[in-house]
Structure 1
């Protein structure tokens, strides 16, 4: 496997706030382990509680690639927000409805990676993630818009079982599926007639549509090493399906199986806004 080093736009944006995927970069809202019940919603004068972090990850060079790269990513989440007149959202017990930002980064595909196939610039995805969590399970969904190499809508839906062996450790695992529209998939999975000719017929002409791109399993481990400081481990396996899995780019020179692993550190911040 070839190993490259890149930095996601999300990391650059968050670096202004602190040293800062997915997935990936993938960084939706993530509730924290529950404190003692008496303190679950006691935020005092605090109106906004959020988290910022930085991590390193190993992920495919580009969607469908069988080569992997190392990337630096930044991530963030919203734990609690109190807006006068509207009410409070979220809470440290981690149950109920949540909403927050979602980021993802997909590395560039160089024109030399696939002879005769055009290169694709790196894609930066920005959007929102919403979910609902019970004591031992959650469901969630994220919708993002890609900018750069692939422009269009993409996102994911999933569910997790949740275990909290201790007050500081939280474990999650469950199925996940990704999707994208035709505009997004066209950049990574389509082959134009010109590219068919330029590749010497190696890659058949192909027009990728939208729909589900992959199904797989995602897992997380999160540990609070000190108060408000966390270590986060994420890993996933996804199998390309639909128009993405049927693409000649994947069948001839890629891999249906896509893996991801990331390790990051983060810190929780509290602000009195009103």
Structure 2
């Protein structure tokens, strides 16, 4: 699974990682192989912000899993096949005290997004789409589309880079980019309301790198840029902040292999 878009705010990141040859051989008879870890992310304070904050984020990677009655999915052989995987994201609370641009705006509670992703890899290229439902802070759907170009300069190093595009429903767009009549009346920055309709809200590029430090420990690096477009890019909130959203981070994971059935 790919790292999520600009709305990282303490994001729950799920990566589909290819096990190293040694670790794959060691865990050959295990039904489940996964990497668990954590990292530190530099990201916009909120969608459309021109301020950067540092937040911790968890890392979760699946190398192999077994579904009773269906069979085994093994990512190390995933060079020409379709895969389906869970997709999650967490967006922290947006508080009016976070920035001068948010004075008079209503607070937005934290949100969790959960859904599915579908990817197809053919040798050195992979395309994917992820669709998630938002809960708590907003009610709506988001989708991310992307293509990754994959390279393995060495046996221990994997590099991915490619374009991204994101879409949001009315519920998502209104929550993070819209301005209500009440907010416009209370805000010193905005003198009228703004409706943000469903549509594509960002395009950009993302790069990821994974280096196998040992058979079990892996280092993950990521960086990306998104340009807010459409009703998101035209939002007065974004005009007061920035249409350009940059993020980057680093983390480390440890591989676990076990049987359940």
1:262 Cα offset (Å): 1.2
Q: TM-score if structure 1 supplies the norm length?
A: 0.84
When residues 163 and 44 of structure 1 are mapped into structure 2, their CA distance, relative to the original with a 3 A threshold, is: closer
Aligned residue for 2:174, secondary structure, equals helix
Hey, what does 1:259 align to over in structure 2? 246
Q: How many residues align?
A: 251
Q: Distance in 2 between matches of 1:174 and 1:74?
A: 23
1:67 Cα offset (Å): 1.0
Structure 2 residues not aligned, in runs of 5+: none
1:121 Cα offset (Å): 2.1
Hey, what does 1:100 align to over in structure 2? 85
**Aligned pairs for 1:172-211 within 5 A:** 172-200=160-188, 202-211=190-199
Runs of at least 4 residues off by over 4 Å = 39-44
Hey, what does 1:141 align to over in structure 2? 129
Residue deviations 1:38-81, cap 9 Å, x none?
x9799643111222111110111111111111111112122212
Given that residues 26 and 103 in structure 1 are in contact (C-alpha distance below 8 angstroms), is that contact kept between their aligned partners in structure 2?
Answer: yes
Q: Distance in 1 between matches of 2:200 and 2:14?
A: 19
1:148 Cα offset (Å): 3.1
Hey, what does 2:207 align to over in structure 1? 219
- Say which is worse superposed, 240-249 or 72-81, in terms of deviation: 72-81
Residue deviations 1:131-172, cap 9 Å, x none?
122221111121222233223211311001110011110000
Structure 1 residues not aligned, in runs of 5+: 1-20
1:220 Cα offset (Å): 0.3
Hey, what does 2:59 align to over in structure 1? 75
**Aligned pairs for 1:149-160 within 5 A:** 149-160=137-148
Given that residues 61 and 106 in structure 1 are in contact (C-alpha distance below 8 angstroms), is that contact kept between their aligned partners in structure 2?
Answer: no
Matched, 1:61 2:45: yes
Given that residues 78 and 99 in structure 1 are in contact (C-alpha distance below 8 angstroms), is that contact kept between their aligned partners in structure 2?
Answer: no
1:33 Cα offset (Å): 5.6
Hey, what does 1:11 align to over in structure 2? none
When residues 203 and 138 of structure 1 are mapped into structure 2, their CA distance, relative to the original with a 3 A threshold, is: farther
1:34 Cα offset (Å): 6.0
Aligned residue for 1:164, secondary structure, equals strand
Given that residues 27 and 257 in structure 2 are in contact (C-alpha distance below 8 angstroms), is that contact kept between their aligned partners in structure 1?
Answer: no
1:128 Cα offset (Å): 2.5
Aligned residue for 1:202, secondary structure, equals coil
Q: Distance in 2 between matches of 1:129 and 1:41?
A: 28
Residue deviations 1:98-127, cap 9 Å, x none?
233322232322213312221212322222
Matched, 1:231 2:219: yes
CA RMSD of aligned residues (A): 2.2
1:238 Cα offset (Å): 0.1
